[in-house]
Amino acid sequence: MEISALPTLEAHLLTALTTPPTEVRRLFHGRGRCWLGLEQITVDWLQGQVLVSLFKEPDADFMAALTDLLARLTQTDVWQASGAQCLLLQHRDRQGSPMDVVWGQSSDYQDVIESGLTYKLDLGRNQNNGLFLDMRYGRDWVREHAAGKRVLNLFAYTCGFSVAAIAGGAEFVVNLDMAKAALSRGRDNHHLNGHDLKKVSFLGHELFKSWGKVRKMGPYDLIIIDPPSFQKGSFALTKDYQKILRRLPELLTAEGVVLACVNDPSLTSQFLIDGMASEAPDMVFTQRLDNPPEFNEIEPEGGLKALVFERRS
């Protein structure tokens, strides 16, 4: 990280906050490597709380300069008019990903709106707050294609896809994730949107030990696969993704659809296309979803890859 690049960040934030978003949005995406010297910084607008995240611990001089920038930002007319209530700085490279309150008063929980749907975020408790903003178009796509369908949401986390599917008229959604606390937040998210929980199932299980139960609740018209790159003791992306793909034929309906995702910058879309061709050859690749424009990437394959496959006999 370079001190000389900080004026670029300041100018970007002043421009973004001049017309603040009406919904949750990323304001600055240094992780896309489009701004030299700012590759380890992101800034998110969380309905009035502004979250600055550092993905690598900077040296003392950079931290001092960044702190001065943020303090100066909160004194501007643009900031005062934006409706911002709090400025947070998260150190994701430190143990426990601690959060500093730079300005204002933080709330541990924050309800945010995305595409008209409400989600509850946890701030300062975990490394991730409960909603991956780069997946917005993926959730929108699910909402648009879920009407009347039975949906399986693997690695469901806080059930963002499930909320979108029910909002889109899904008949039933099965959410599976070994993190029961995340599924509990997912239940809250459905409640926030007034959804009928009789249409939603929450399975707090480890996937590879639960195929029988998952299969029994199917078959599914739509399956969403959005795993972490690595989950200690349970999932390693390059080794285990194929194990999921080879199970698809027994889980899907005859005309089933799969949204398969990977967010490891070292893997390209071809990883999914080749894996599907090998393990589930009747699944045909039809499209890669766009990523939101605020997630600019110097190399398009370095960001989120969300690919749609359709079953064809």
Per-residue pLDDT reduced to its tens digit, 277-300: 999 999 999 999 999 999 999 998
What are the 10-residue block averages of pLDDT along the chain, 313 residues in total? 95 96 97 96 95 95 96 96 95 91 91 97 85 97 98 97 98 96 96 98 93 95 90 74 95 97 94 96 97 94 96 85
Does the residue 300 lie in any domain?
yes
Nearest-10 crossing angle of helices 160-167, 180-192: 30
150-154 and 220-225 strand pairing:
parallel
Name the H helices within the chain.
Answer: 6-18, 60-73, 77-82, 136-145, 160-167, 180-192, 211-216, 237-245, 248-251, 269-279
Whether residues 239 and 90 fall in one domain:
no
pLDDT at 125 (0 to 100):
74
CATH number, domain of 33, equals 3.30.750.80
Does the residue 124 lie in any domain?
no
Residue 276 CB: number of other CB atoms within 10 A?
A: 23
Per-residue pLDDT reduced to its tens digit, 71-118: 999 999 999 999 999 999 999 999 888 999 999 998 888 999 999 999
Whether residues 161 and 281 fall in one domain:
yes
pLDDT at 77 (0 to 100):
97
Does the residue 20 lie in any domain?
yes
How far, in Å, are 110, 111, 118, 135, 159 from residue 192 at the CA level?
Answer: 12, 9, 6, 20, 12
CB-based burial, 56-73: b 16+ in 10 Å, e otherwise: eebeeebbebbeebbeeb
Does the residue 127 lie in any domain?
no
Whether residues 205 and 304 fall in one domain:
yes
- pTM (two decimals): 0.95
Whether residues 155 and 229 fall in one domain:
yes
Whether residues 263 and 151 fall in one domain:
yes
Domain that holds residue 97: 3-107
Whether residues 85 and 168 fall in one domain:
no
Count of the separate structural domains present in the chain: 2
pLDDT at 96 (0 to 100):
86
